[in-house]
Amino acid sequence: MVEKKLTVGYIQFQPQFGQPDKNISYILERLNKIKDADLIVLPELCTTGYAFNNREEAKTYAEPVPQGKTIQILLSIAKKRDMYIVAGINEKEHDNLYNSAVFLSPNGYVGKYRKNHLFNKEKIIFNQGDLKFPIFHIDDIKVGILICFDWIFPEAWRTLVLKGADIICHPSNLVLKNLAHRSIPVTAMINRIYIICSNRIGIERNLTFIGGSMIVDPKGNIVHRAPSDKEESYVTIINPYKARDKKITERNDVLSDRRPDIYEL
Ligand code: ACM
Q: Which of 122, 150, 197 to mutate to test the pocket of ligand 1 (most atoms within 8 A of CB)?
A: 122
The string of pLDDT tens digits covering residues 151-182 is 999 999 999 999 999 999 999 999 999 999 99
Tell me the CA–centroid distance for residue 245 and ligand 1, in Å.
31
pLDDT digits (tens, 9 = 90+) for 31-55: 999 999 999 999 999 999 999 999 9
- Tell me, what's the pLDDT at 1? 74
CA of 150, closest atom in ligand 1: 2
Check residue 208 and give its pLDDT: 98
* 118: pLDDT strictly greater than 90: yes
Tell how far the Cα of 199 is from the centroid of ligand 1, in angstroms: 10
**Residue 20 preceded by cis peptide, ω within 30:** no
Give the integer Cα–Cα distance in Å for 26 and 263: 48
Inside any domain, residue 183: yes
Mean pLDDT confidence for 3-18: 96
How many angstroms separate the alpha carbon of residue 262 from the centre of ligand 1? 33
Catalytic residue among 148, 197, 232, 242: 148
The CATH code of the domain that includes 193 is 3.60.110.10
Ligand 1 pocket check for 52: Cβ under 6 Å:
no
Per residue in 198-255, pLDDT (tens digit) is 999 999 999 999 999 999 999 999 999 999 999 999 999 999 999 999 999 999 999 9
So what's the pLDDT on residue 4? 84
Other Cβ atoms less than 10 A from the Cβ of 101: the count is 30
Fill in the amino acid letter for 137: H
Among 149, 152, 199, name the best residue to mutate to test ligand 1's pocket (greatest count of ligand atoms within 8 A of Cβ): 149
The CA distance from 243 to 42, in Å, is 22
Instruction: Give the integer Cα–Cα distance in Å for 168 and 145.
Output: 5
Active site residue 264: no
- Percent of the chain exceeding pLDDT 70 equals 100
The pLDDT assigned to 106 comes to: 98
44 noted as active-site residue = yes
Inside any domain, residue 55: yes
Asked if residue 201 belongs to a domain, the reply is: yes
pTM greater than 0.85: yes
Mean pLDDT for 180-190 is 98
pLDDT of residue 2: 78
The domain in which residue 77 lies consists of: 6-262
Q: Which atom of ligand 1 is nearest to the CA of 176?
A: 4
Q: How far is the CA of 151 from the centre of ligand 1 (A)?
A: 9
Q: Is 77 in the pocket of ligand 1 (CB under 6 A)?
A: no
The answer to whether the CB of 175 is under 6 A from ligand 1 is yes
Q: Is the CB of 188 under 6 A from ligand 1?
A: no
Residue 1 lies in a domain: no
**Has residue 20 been placed in a domain?**
yes
120-136 residue pLDDT tens: 999 999 999 999 999 99
44: Cβ–Cβ under 8 A, 6 or more apart, which residues? 50, 88, 99, 101, 115, 147, 148, 171, 172, 173, 200
With respect to residue 151, please indicate whether it lies within any of the assigned structural domains: yes
**Which of 92, 53, 41 is closest to 100 using CA atoms?**
92
Q: Is residue 107 part of a domain?
A: yes
Count of domains observed in the chain: 1
Q: Is the Cβ atom of 90 under 6 angstroms away from ligand 1?
A: no
Tell me what pLDDT residue 223 has: 98
Reduced to 3 states (helix: H, G, I; strand: E, B; else coil), residue 124 is helix
| Catalytic site includes residue 115 | yes
Average pLDDT across the chain, whole number: 98
pLDDT of residue 180: 98
Once rounded to an integer, what is the mean pLDDT over residues 12-23? 98
User: Predicted confidence band at 3 (pLDDT cuts at 50, 70, 90)?
Assistant: confident
Q: Tell me if 132 sits within 8 A of 107, measured CB to CB.
A: no
